[in-house]
């Protein structure tokens, strides 16, 4: 448990428990600590689903055989709300180097209800392997963005916009970013490129690959920083996301840089491409999202 009495991500992972009478289902209680504007953060759902998949693989195929998630594709079918949930794992493929799982998240049935009373809210196809044993074709590549991340202490300031404290999940984080002369956050690179350093306010380390899944859904949304009071005017929902894990973060990691970019924002839909880097500038993960926006209706004035 964190020093502030709120569960951190690894606390929740450790609370996963097998559903009695099954070999492929795990129960978890999701609290409001992990909510955004209107539902549970997709990156949090992804992280606990990856953890359940890892536990299932260790049980069925042996501990340590496939210790790392290599890739995750996640389709968000319905909003995930706080409460008891069930994660179901299905083995799709096993090879010498990789295993592939289908992992589904659904609301847990109440006492007396059928086990399939509630539909799958989140569907994942996860590939696991052993990153430490990967070998083969290797080339030096030139990144599209050649500038190193901004120095967190000398080129950035803490974001003081109330929006970062407006939801439980964003309030968990320290947000530190470059600020332009126009007062825009993370605009150092121009266009729709954004940069932000993230850490946990309670001092928890970003020590696990599951933290990368979590942070993959916490960028500075590129369209949002173009419009004043964006989150008072629009709701955003992620249709799907994918994550490729390049390496595990060092266990002592406090800060991770999240770079985000949108190639096209049109008719209420946009893409978001993310890079997650450590303080040395090493690439930890890549993520891609499809995001929809909807107008928030203004509240009627009280008479």
The pLDDT tens digits of the residues spanning 10-41 come to 999 999 999 999 999 999 999 999 998 789 99
Instruction: Give the model's confidence band at 298: pLDDT under 50 very low, under 70 low, under 90 confident, else very high.
Output: low
Same-domain status, 188 and 62:
no
- Whole-angstrom distance, CA of residue 123 vs CA of residue 2: 29
**Residue range(s) defining the domain that contains residue 280:** 156-295
CB 249, CB 256: distance < 8 Å:
yes
pLDDT at 303 over 50: no
Identify the three-state secondary structure at position 14.
helix
**Count of beta carbons in the 10 Å neighbourhood of residue 115:** 14
Least confident segment among 41-50, 123-132, 151-160: 151-160
H helix or E strand, kind and range, residue 296: none
Whether 42 has a pLDDT exceeding 90, the answer reads yes
**Statement to judge: residues 238 and 124 lie in one domain:** no
Structural domain ending residue among the three candidates 91, 114, 130: 130
**In terms of domains, do 215 and 261 share one?**
yes
Q: What is the pLDDT of residues 158-177, one digit of tens each?
A: 988 888 888 999 999 999 99
Question: Which residues touch 81 (CB under 8 Å, ≥6 apart)?
Answer: 39, 40, 107
Percent of the chain at pLDDT > 70 equals 94
Q: What local confidence, expressed as pLDDT, does residue 300 receive?
A: 54
pLDDT at 198: 97
Residue 15 lies in a domain: yes
- Are 185 and 112 part of one and the same domain? no
For the segment 44-71, what is each residue's pLDDT rounded down to a tens digit? 999 999 999 999 999 999 999 999 999 9
The angle at the Cα of 35, spanning 191 to 165, to the nearest 5 degrees, equals 60
- Give CA 273 to chain center in angstroms: 13
Mean pLDDT computed over 216-229: 83
For residue 274, the cross-strand partners are: 260, 287
Task: Report the distance separating Cα 91 and Cα 57, nearest Å.
Answer: 8
| Domain co-membership, 75 together with 192 | no
Give the pLDDT band of residue 2 (cuts 50, 70, 90): very low
Is the pLDDT confidence value at 127 over 70?
Answer: yes
Give pLDDT, residue 60: 97
Residues 125 and 166 in one domain: no
Average pLDDT over residues 268-287: 96
pTM score, two decimals? 0.92
Query: Does an H or E element contain 9, and which?
Result: helix 9-14
The predicted pLDDT at position 111 comes to 75
Domain boundary among 112, 130, 148: 130
More confident residue, 236 or 137: 137
How many C-beta neighbours within 10 Å does residue 40 have? 26
Residue 54 belongs to a domain? yes
Q: Is residue 146 part of a domain?
A: no
Q: Are residues 167 and 289 in the same domain?
A: yes
Asked if 189 and 81 sit in the same domain, the reply is no
In a domain, 147, yes or no: no
Cβ atoms of 40 and 76 closer than 8 Å: no
Residues 102 and 53 placed together within one structural domain of the fold: yes
Q: What pLDDT score does 5 carry?
A: 59
Cβ-contact 91, 23 below 8 angstroms = no
Say if 2 falls within a structural domain: no
- Give Cα separations from 163 to 24, 140, 180, 268 (angstroms): 39, 39, 18, 21
Q: Is residue 135 part of a domain?
A: no
What is the widest separation between alpha-carbon atoms in the chain? 70
Mean pLDDT of 80-104: 97
* Mean pLDDT of the chain, nearest integer: 90
Q: What is the CATH number of the domain that holds 276?
A: 3.10.129.10
Please give the tally of structural domains in the chain: 2
Whether residues 112 and 185 share a domain: the answer is: no
- What is the structure's pLDDT at 11? 95
3 lies in some domain: no
Q: At residue 1, does pLDDT exceed 80? A: no
**In this predicted model, which residue has the larger pLDDT, 230 or 303?**
230
């Amino acid at each position: 448990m964190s020093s502030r009495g709120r569960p951190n991500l690894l606390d929740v992972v450790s609370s996963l428990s097998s559903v009695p009478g099954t070999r492929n289902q795990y129960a978890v209680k999701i609290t409001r600590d992990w909510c955004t504007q209107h539902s549970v953060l997709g990156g949090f759902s992804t992280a606990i689903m990856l953890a359940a998949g890892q536990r299932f693989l260790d049980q069925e195929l042996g501990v340590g055989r496939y210790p790392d998630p290599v890739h995750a594709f996640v389709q968000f079918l319905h909003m995930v709300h706080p409460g008891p949930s069930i994660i179901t794992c299905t083995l799709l493929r096993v090879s010498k180097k990789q295993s592939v799982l289908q992992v589904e998240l659904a609301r847990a049935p109440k006492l007396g209800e059928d086990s399939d009373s509630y539909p799958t809210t989140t569907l994942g196809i996860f590939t696991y392997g052993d990153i430490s044993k990967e070998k083969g074709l290797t080339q030096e590549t030139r990144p599209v963005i050649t500038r190193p991340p901004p120095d967190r202490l000398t080129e950035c300031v803490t974001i003081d916009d109330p929006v970062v404290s407006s939801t439980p999940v964003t309030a968990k984080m320290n947000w530190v970013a470059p600020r332009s002369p126009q007062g825009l956050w993370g605009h150092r690179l121009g266009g729709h490129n954004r940069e932000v350093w993230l850490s946990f306010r309670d001092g928890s380390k970003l020590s696990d690959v599951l933290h990368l899944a979590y942070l993959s859904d916490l960028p500075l949304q590129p369209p949002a920083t173009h419009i004043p009071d964006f989150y008072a005017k629009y709701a955003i929902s992620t249709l799907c996301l994918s994550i490729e894990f390049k390496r595990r973060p060092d266990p002592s990691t406090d800060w991770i840089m999240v770079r985000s970019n949108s190639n096209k924002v049109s008719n209420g839909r946009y893409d978001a491409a993310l890079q997650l880097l450590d303080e040395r500038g090493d690439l930890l993960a890549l993520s891609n999202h499809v995001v929809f926006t909807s107008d928030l209706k203004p509240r009627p004035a009280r008479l």
